[in-house]
Amino acid sequence: MDNITLPLVSLNGTDVLCPQPLLWTESAIENRRARLIVCIAAIFTHSIFWLQLAFCSSVRQSSMQWLYAYLVTDIFLLFRYFFIYIIYTTTADCNPNRSWVLFMYYFEALLDNYMNILEVYILLALNVCRYIQIAYNRNVYRIHTKSLILSHLLIYILPAISLFVQFYTGWSQIKIIPRDSCQVVYTNIYIQVFNVITAFALPIFLNILVIYMSVRHVRLTSTLQRAAHHVSAREKYNRSLVIQFLLFYIIWVSLWSPNVIVFQISISDDIITRNVRLLNFIEIVLDPIIIAALDVRFWQEWRRTFLYVKTNQFRSRTNAGRVQPTTTNAQKAVSNKNPRLQTTKF
Q: What is the mean pLDDT of each run of 10 residues along the chain (346 residues)?
A: 53 58 92 94 93 80 90 95 95 90 93 93 93 88 92 96 94 90 90 92 94 88 62 71 85 89 77 90 92 75 75 69 53 48 40
Q: How many CB atoms lie within 10 A of CB 174?
A: 20
d(CA 242, CA 294): 11
CA dihedral 104, 105, 107, 109 (to 10 degrees): 150
Degrees, nearest 5: CA angle 216-213-157: 160
pLDDT value at residue 325: 55
- Find the helix packing angle between 145-168 and 98-136, rounded to 10°: 150
pLDDT value at residue 229: 53
In order, the DSSP letters of 148-160 are HHHHHHHHHHHHH
Indicate the length of the chain as a whole number: 346
- Report which of 100, 105, 124, 283 is spatially closest to residue 200, judged by C-alpha positions: 124
Return all residues near 261 (Cβ < 8 A) that are at least 6 apart: 200, 276
d(CA 46, CA 82): 15
The reported pTM is: 0.81
pLDDT value at residue 343: 40
Strands 181-186 and 4-5, by their bridges, are unpaired
Degrees, nearest 5: CA angle 53-59-62: 110
Measured CA to CA in angstroms, residue 330 lies from 58, 301, 336 at distances of 50, 46, 10
**175 pairs with which residues across the strands?**
5, 183
pLDDT value at residue 1: 55
d(CA 22, CA 7): 15
CA dihedral 111, 112, 114, 119 (to 10 degrees): 130
185: phi then psi, degrees, rounded to nearest 5: -125, 160
pLDDT value at residue 263: 81
pLDDT value at residue 3: 66
Return all residues near 284 (Cβ < 8 A) that are at least 6 apart: 38, 39, 42, 74, 77, 78
Measured CA to CA in angstroms, residue 133 lies from 140, 144, 219, 273, 278 at distances of 7, 12, 15, 39, 35
pLDDT value at residue 168: 93
